[in-house]
Structure 1
Amino acid sequence: MARPGTGPKLKPSEKGRLIFMQAFGFELKHGATVLSARTLPDLTPAADEVIIDVQAVGLNNRERMARRGAVPGDFNVLGSDVAGTVTALGRSVADITIGERVLVRTTHGDATQVRAPARDVVVLPRALSFEQAAGMITPGITAYRAVAVFTRLQPGHTVVIKGASGGVGLLVVQLAKARDVHVIGVASGNHRNQVLTAGADEFFAYDTENHVAALDGRADIVFNVALNGINGQDDVAMVRPGGQIISVAHREPYSDKPVQFTHIHPLAVPNDHTILTELVPLFADGLLKLPIGTLFPFTAAGFAAAHDLLPSPHEGRIVVSAADD
């Protein structure tokens, strides 16, 4: 796990709270998105909310797309996957305590503080670091929905997982294998050992092997969690007639054979809180693992570097951390 050089740290007050919070956001200047920091008053919670002092933020493809859509004239604070410590409670919050370690999927997470509904917050066990927690939130939710909500895996099923070396893909491999199915991972050849170690029974390198021909009609289910769900026609070729394609792609590929296509999308039931409550103990017990590739310091320069790396090829999760080590 790489960690670029750190910058100056934010100074906490004697009570452990920041006197002022800082938010790190993008502004559109001369056609380019430029990140800067702004100092703002501490947040205060509504009756059903908590305030979290952020210790780590995990970056996702959604931030890459949001940056491209930055609104001119606005201070666009991105970030959704947050882990930290509760520092303030709304008057109606009864089941969370000050000082508790938590994680949450929220908005405006690229900041030293966030506000979140108490119902969305999940307690973080000591066995899981803030960085590990922030790195697994969106990939975990997406992988869980793919494997446990949008299909019903049966023992003996054969599944093909495209993008098997990415954050979502590695978790789909692990969650699928735990359901006693035959897992075939597809990724670039340099990720062979990583995907097999995660639990895949077979591996095909898309950059050196004709995986589409080799897997023609073999899959009961194809999970396409590669970036933007690319090459959907390959999914059609690899799935058997009557099988299912579960994809992050929004558009269904053309098929001349009966195939069920499902786009992985948010749902009200189960919600993010329910899914994270189930996943967190699995990560804490080491039953699910997701590598962090690069840690960046919790500074304007750190957030800028993290977001700049996001659209480029990189290994593992990108996490911005307030840790001192």
Structure 2
Amino acid sequence: MKAVRFHEYGEPDVLHYEDVDLPEPGPGQVRVRVAATSFNGVDGNIRAGFMQGPMPLTLPHIPGLDVAGTIDALGEGVGGREIGDRVVGFLPFVDDGASAEYVLAPAESLAPAPEGIPLADAAALPLVGLTAWQALFDHAGLKAGQRILISGGGGAVGGYAVQLAKAAGAHVIATGSPRSVEQVKAAGADEVIDHTATEVTTAVTGPVDVLLNLAPIDPAEYAALAGLVRDGGVVVGTTVWMPAPADEERGVRAVDVYVRSDAGQLAELVARVDRGALTVDVSERVPLADLASVHARAAAGALPGKVIVLPATA
């Protein structure tokens, strides 16, 4: 089969499109014929070698944490799955990923794919959708009637976070750039702040119950935004290299999100997609052979939004 691998850590040019043996599923695994994977920011950090401590890999390695596709082989002991099932999932960080024509996946990590969107587009959902869900509900405990400030509402996680927070009955304030403001509004934010033109701390009127930071902001700005959180509130961040600031004197707790695979939560996200309550946004579809260029554009800050990557057989 064809796959993209890196044999050493480094710049995007370490990614090579090459022939790889077809993998065989082991106990508890299924083999998925890949319709698409997606690019996530963490993919670039893994390829560059920045994540070797928490995510030790065996090289060469196939990247691609998201998968949407069709089951084509079952490993020993797999129940409740059939060949031909359309599935979506978030793959283990340290295993070979879905930047290939076929990938192995733990059967328990997969959910049925959405029926209402193209199968390939579903690859844009798992990692970022689960990050948003876990940040809002597992860690922030967001409830109806609360006020939430989402810093970075125009990003891939932010789009889901805005939709999910609004659906939960929260009052959603979100930041965006000029190119994403309309998108953030369309996602359902009650207030949208263009952070390039306005000081966010002065634009937010009144305290918020939750600050969700998804953006690589300056630590001083992060601390200033945390100052908007009411006593007893919570700061949740996904920029784990810059810990979320707490304020013990005011009872403001801080949580750094490390997303985990959860098939049940993913199935709930899929159900919302199918009933039209959650929109999956795909900005670009590129062939697998061009994955290195996607990594290069991401490193240069030139990706337009969520990119899915399609093998030639898709």
After TM superposition, the score normalised by the length of structure 1 is 0.84
Q: Does 1:232 align with 2:222?
A: yes
Q: Which residue is 2:4 aligned to?
A: 24
Q: Partner of 2:81: helix, strand, or coil?
A: coil
Q: How many residues align?
A: 300
Runs (5+) with no aligned partner, structure 2: none
Q: Partner of 1:222: helix, strand, or coil?
A: strand
Q: CA deviation at 1:309?
A: 2.1
Q: Which residue is 1:14 aligned to?
A: none
Q: Does 1:104 align with 2:89?
A: yes
2:265 to 275, 279, 293: 275
Q: Which residue is 1:60 aligned to?
A: 40
Equivalent position amino acid for 2:239 in 1:
A
2:174 to 175, 181, 185: 185
Q: Does 1:206 align with 2:195?
A: yes
- For the structure 1 residues 128 and 22, does the alpha-carbon distance in structure 2 shift closer, same or farther, using more than 3 Å as the test? same
Q: Which residue is 1:306 aligned to?
A: 294
- For the structure 1 residues 261 and 310, does the alpha-carbon distance in structure 2 shift closer, same or farther, using more than 3 Å as the test? same
Q: Partner of 1:292: helix, strand, or coil?
A: coil
Q: Is the 8 A contact 2:9 2:49 kept in 1?
A: no
Q: Is the 8 A contact 2:114 2:122 kept in 1?
A: no
Q: Which residue is 1:36 aligned to?
A: 16
Q: Which residue is 1:253 aligned to?
A: 245
Q: Distance in 2 between matches of 1:238 and 1:56?
A: 40
Q: Partner of 1:85: helix, strand, or coil?
A: strand
Q: Partner of 1:240: helix, strand, or coil?
A: strand
Q: Partner of 2:14: helix, strand, or coil?
A: strand
Q: Distance in 1 between matches of 2:275 and 2:305?
A: 20
Q: Distance in 2 between matches of 1:101 and 1:310?
A: 29
Q: Distance in 2 between matches of 1:150 and 1:30?
A: 34
Q: CA deviation at 1:76?
A: 2.9
1:263 to 251, 256, 274: 256
Equivalent position amino acid for 1:181 in 2:
A
Deviation readout 1:263-318 (Å, 9 max, x if unpaired): 11245xxx52111111111112221113211110132xx11122222232322201
Equivalent position amino acid for 2:60 in 1:
F
Q: Is the 8 A contact 2:144 2:170 kept in 1?
A: yes
Q: Which residue is 1:15 aligned to?
A: none
Q: Which residue is 2:150 aligned to?
A: 161
Q: Is the 8 A contact 1:219 1:240 kept in 2?
A: yes
Q: CA deviation at 1:143?
A: 0.3
Matches within 5 A, 1:110-125: 110-125=99-114
Q: Partner of 1:291: helix, strand, or coil?
A: coil
Q: Partner of 1:310: helix, strand, or coil?
A: helix
Q: Distance in 1 between matches of 2:144 and 2:98?
A: 39
Q: Does 1:82 align with 2:71?
A: no
Q: Distance in 2 between matches of 1:166 and 1:245?
A: 18
After TM superposition, the score normalised by the length of structure 2 is 0.87
Runs (5+) with no aligned partner, structure 1: 1-20
Q: Is the 8 A contact 1:60 1:310 kept in 2?
A: no
Q: Distance in 2 between matches of 1:160 and 1:84?
A: 35
Q: Distance in 1 between matches of 2:58 and 2:267?
A: 38
Alpha-carbon RMSD: 2.5
